[in-house]
Structures are given as C-alpha cells and as structure tokens.
Amino acid sequence: MKRVTYTVVVEPAGSNYSAFVPDLPGCVATGLTVEETVDHIREAIQFHLEGLLEDGQEPPPASASSVAVEAEIPG
C-alpha cells in the first residue's frame, strides 16, 4: 500500500471547525474540535481516494504546502 501526505487546512467555523484538502477539491469535513475534525478529514481523504480509484483515476500527487507568515497590523 502506498502512502501520501496531503496538506489539510483546518479553520474555525462558528461553533465548530471545518477542514479541506487543497489537492483534493471537494474533500471536506467538519467537527466540534480540531482533533475530531482531523479524524473526519482523514476518513474523507480515504473515501475520496477510494472513489477516484474506483472511477479509474489516479489520485493527485500532494503538491500544496503551507507556511505561517507574520505581518504587522497598522495602527
């Protein structure tokens, strides 16, 4: 079995959290906590990849990355 690591973005969404995978359009999940959201997006990624393979498509390579950028707020 081949392993791949995708970048996941987790954001606050009101009273819960949401997550998406830039390399897998449409692959999203939500949860009440960050940890729950990460568990759900892991399951969503697996489901998404299985669907791609069943449709005869190759999963896209992981290409997105993230960096933290510090900026000054004027004022």
Does any domain span residue 61? no
**CB neighbours of residue 34 within 10 Å:** 14
Alpha-carbon distance of 54 to 13, in angstroms, equals: 32
Q: How many domains does the chain have?
A: 1
Does any domain span residue 14? yes
pLDDT at 2: 87
Does any domain span residue 74? no
Residue 26 domain boundaries: 9-54
Does any domain span residue 59? no
Does any domain span residue 30? yes
Quote the pTM value.
Answer: 0.90
With bands split at pLDDT 50, 70 and 90, how would you rate the model's confidence at 1?
Answer: confident
Does any domain span residue 72? no
Phi, psi angle pair for 20, to nearest 5°: -145, 165
> Please, is 44 exposed, middle or buried when counting C-beta atoms within 10 Å of its C-beta (0-12, 13-18, 19+)?
buried
pLDDT at 39 over 90: yes
Does any domain span residue 75? no
Does any domain span residue 4? no
Give me the mean pLDDT over the 53-63 stretch: 96
Give me the mean pLDDT over the 11-38 stretch: 98
State the residue for tokens 């896209």: 60
